[in-house]
């Protein structure tokens, strides 16, 4: 089969490209990415040169480009990771989130309608459900939980999900949606909590924690996420939504202290800062449907996953130091100039 993976130079998309290229050498994996600030082709260096991998630079909101790409490549499966995803950025600049996350999704769906595909898969987020109270540990997000967004980011993702299901019902496009909890693991952009805290702790810089750090997240290792998406694409029911959770709830403060302890750094590096507007208190996913229907189960618990992740950042300092310095942004020009 031929896959187009949009946003494949980002954190989760990049890990998915690695996973697919290595696991399915008989399939063709096309990595489509616009290389905005969080797109990093250095993430894909290990698969460069593989015969079943190809990178194409392009924007999913560019209709002429997308329709031309579908006509040329004739993909069987689309996996859409392409999205603006940083909540703080959505608060300061909501417009780009509407453009990429909503209009980009409808552009892809229109191309699928025109050219035909075996499956369109939308990678969404548990943030479309809003949040849960800290004093009700018995409550979890299920696939039937009503959408109740808190930020421009989650609103744009919820809107995209609604368009996906509308295109399925109206035009018969074969689709699936996955909604995941907070991901962590290799190749995560350093603005996110875990890599940010690792990089700052190693430099003995203050670790900013919103509010009192009590906000709880269900942490999912990115490898487990990739496995789940693979299962959904190949075995999931058409028109279905699947929640992907890690069974690993921890407060932000617990995560930060775990990182400090692993690196042998003092808790005095923690600096509490003003909370962000509309900060959700607790996310908790119930992945029972995915486990029951498709037989998925996570490989990592948080203890094993966070150790692996910290070690990866220690072993790959050049990768994230290039991001912090801005050097990563020049990789495309160095590698692809004159080739595309």
Place of tokens 């025109």: 114
Map residue 334 onto helix, strand or coil: helix
Please give the Cα distance from 270 to 260 (Å, whole number): 9
Map residue 125 onto helix, strand or coil: strand
- The tally of CA atoms less than 13 A away on the side-chain side of residue 93 is 8
Reduce the secondary structure of 64-83 to three states and give it as a string.
HHHHHHHHHHCCCEEEECCC
Tell which residue, 195, 210, 222, 209, has the closest CA to residue 324: 195
Q: Which run of H or E residues covers position 96?
A: helix 94-97
Map residue 220 onto helix, strand or coil: strand
Question: Active-site residues: which are they?
Answer: 126-127, 153
**First-last CA distance in the chain:** 24
Do 255 and 310 touch, CB atoms closer than 8 A? no
Do 253 and 189 touch, CB atoms closer than 8 A? no
- The tally of CA atoms less than 13 A away on the side-chain side of residue 53 is 22
């Amino acid at each position: 089969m031929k896959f187009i993976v949009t946003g494949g130079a980002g954190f989760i998309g990049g890990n998915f490209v690695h996973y697919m290229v290595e696991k399915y050498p008989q399939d063709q994996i096309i990595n489509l990415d616009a290389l905005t600030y969080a797109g990093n082709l250095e993430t894909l260096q290990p698969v460069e040169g593989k015969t079943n991998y190809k990178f194409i630079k392009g924007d999913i909101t560019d209709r002429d480009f997308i329709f031309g790409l579908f006509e040329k490549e004739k993909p069987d499966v689309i996996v859409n990771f392409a999205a603006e995803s940083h909540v703080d950025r959505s608060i300061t600049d909501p417009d780009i989130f509407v453009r990429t996350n909503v209009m980009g999704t409808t552009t892809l769906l229109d191309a699928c309608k025109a050219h035909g595909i075996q499956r369109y898969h939308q990678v969404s987020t548990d943030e479309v459900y809003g949040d849960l109270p800290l004093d009700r540990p018995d409550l979890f997000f299920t696939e039937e939980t009503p959408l109740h967004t808190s930020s421009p980011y989650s609103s744009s993702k919820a809107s995209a999900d609604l368009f996906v299901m509308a295109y399925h019902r109206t035009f018969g496009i074969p689709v699936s949606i996955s909604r995941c909890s907070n991901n962590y693991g290799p190749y995560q952009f350093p603005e996110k909590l875990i890599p940010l805290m690792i990089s700052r702790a190693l430099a003995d810089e203050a670790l900013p924690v919103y509010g009192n750090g009590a906000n709880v997240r269900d942490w999912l290792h990115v490898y487990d996420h990739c496995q789940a998406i693979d299962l959904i694409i190949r075995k999931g029911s058409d028109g279905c939504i699947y929640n992907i959770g890690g069974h690993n709830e921890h407060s932000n403060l617990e995560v930060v202290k775990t990182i400090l302890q692993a690196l042998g750094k003092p808790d005095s590096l923690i600096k509490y800062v003003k909370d962000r507007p509309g900060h959700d208190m607790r996310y908790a996913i119930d992945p029972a449907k995915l486990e029951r229907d498709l037989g998925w189960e996570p490989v990592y618990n948080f203890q094993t996953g966070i150790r692996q992740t910290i070690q990866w950042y220690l072993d790959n300092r050049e990768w994230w130091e290039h991001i912090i310095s801005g050097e990563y942004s020049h990789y495309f020009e160095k590698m692809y100039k004159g080739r595309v």
